[in-house]
Amino acid sequence: MVLGLGVGVVDALGVSIQGLRAFPELPTAKPSIPSTQHALWIWLRGDDPGDLLLRGHKLQALIDPEFTLVQAIDSFLHRDSRDLTGYEDGTENPKDAAAIEAAVAQGKGTGIDGSSFAAVQQWLHDFPKFDAMSHAEQNDCFGRDRDSNEELDEAPDSSHVKRTAQEDFEPEAFVVRRSMPWVAGAEAGLVFLAFGKSFDAYEAQLRRMTGHDDGISDALFRFTRPLTGGYCWCPPIADNGADLTALG
Ligand code: HEM
Q: DSSP code of 109?
A: -
Q: Is 87 in the pocket of ligand 1 (CB under 6 A)?
A: yes
d(CA 170, CA 54): 45
Mean pLDDT to the nearest integer, 190-201: 98
Mean pLDDT to the nearest integer, 148-163: 98
Question: What is the pLDDT, as a whole number, of residue 184?
Answer: 97
Summarize pLDDT for 113-126 with one digit per residue, the tens: 999 999 999 999 99
Whether 30 shows a pLDDT value over 90: the answer reads: yes
Mean pLDDT to the nearest integer, 223-240: 96
b/e map 151-190, b = 16+ CB within 10 Å? bbeebeebbbbbbbbbeebeeebbbbbbbbbbeeeeeebb
**8 C-alpha vs ligand 1 centroid, how far in Å?**
28
In percent, how much of the chain has pLDDT > 70? 100
**64 C-alpha vs ligand 1 centroid, how far in Å?**
36
**C-alpha atoms less than 13 angstroms from C-alpha of 205 in its C-beta half-sphere:** 24
Whether 63 shows a pLDDT value over 90: the answer reads: yes
Q: Are strands 180-184 and 187-196 parallel, antiparallel or unpaired?
A: antiparallel
Whether 213 shows a pLDDT value over 90: the answer reads: yes
d(CA 16, CA 83): 36
For ligand 1, atom 21: residue with the closest CA? 160
Q: Is 149 in the pocket of ligand 1 (CB under 6 A)?
A: no
Whether 59 shows a pLDDT value over 90: the answer reads: yes
Whether 240 shows a pLDDT value over 90: the answer reads: no
Question: What is the pLDDT, as a whole number, of residue 177?
Answer: 98
Summarize pLDDT for 3-24 with one digit per residue, the tens: 999 999 999 999 999 999 999 9
**179 C-alpha vs ligand 1 centroid, how far in Å?**
9
Which atom from ligand 1 is nearest to the alpha carbon of 174? 35
